[in-house]
Amino acid sequence: MLATAALAVALCVLAAAVLFASWPDSAWDPLGPYETQHVDLPADGVDGIPTLSLSSDPLVVPVTGEKCVTGQGFTIVDQVSWQSVEPPGTIIRTGEGTRDAVNGCTRFEYVNVVPRSVRRAMLAQLNAGIVRPKWRIIGLERPIRDGRTDGASQAWATERFAVAP
């Protein structure tokens, strides 16, 4: 009886050790969380949100935001897209960039030149009679170390902004 109990305990300990050793590690997650980035365009009196006039020169969307990183010694790859929110359905991928990770939180100021493809989509919405379509800039960042993506991705987005002629 004692031998059976000892064998049962030994099997339980062995099973626990195997389970613990095979338990997947949680993903390396050095990015974020990221707050919604602020669009630095004037808000008009129509609905109080920042408004991009397509007659502006230069045609840019200035943005400020803070991104936090835990650790350093790795690269962050960022994919950038422009998304139509109202009406929904249009996402135009416009680029990819990299930056070196810097431990802590960093405030960024971006001057996003409106790509031709995005301007054409905005004009098409206005020409179709859509009044003040709403857009935002979105992205997905991935940490890269040792030449491969092995960490959790972190999404970011600007606040919505309206588009006017």
Instruction: Give tens-digit pLDDT for 153-162.
Output: 999 999 999 9
Asked whether residue 17 is assigned to any structural domain, the reply reads: no
Asked whether residue 4 is assigned to any structural domain, the reply reads: no
Asked whether residue 138 is assigned to any structural domain, the reply reads: yes
Residue 154 lies in domain: 27-164
pLDDT band for position 165 (cuts 50, 70, 90): very high
Model's pTM, two decimal places?
Answer: 0.82
Instruction: Quote the DSSP letter at residue 36.
Output: P
Asked whether residue 8 is assigned to any structural domain, the reply reads: no
Residue 45 vs residues 26, 40, 51, 57, 91: alpha-carbon distances, Å: 48, 16, 10, 21, 27
Asked whether residue 111 is assigned to any structural domain, the reply reads: yes
User: Strand 134-145 relative to strand 148-149: parallel, antiparallel, unpaired?
Assistant: antiparallel
Instruction: Give tens-digit pLDDT for 70-125.
Output: 999 999 999 999 999 999 999 999 999 999 999 999 999 999 999 999 999 999 99
Beta-bridged to residue 43, according to DSSP, are: 50
Asked whether residue 110 is assigned to any structural domain, the reply reads: yes
State yes or no: pLDDT of 24 exceeds 70. no
Asked whether residue 84 is assigned to any structural domain, the reply reads: yes
Percent of the chain whose pLDDT exceeds 90? 76
What pLDDT, on a 0 to 100 scale, did the predictor assign at position 25?
52
Asked whether residue 40 is assigned to any structural domain, the reply reads: yes
pLDDT band for position 148 (cuts 50, 70, 90): confident
- What CATH number corresponds to the domain at position 72? 2.60.40.1520
State the total domains in the chain: 1
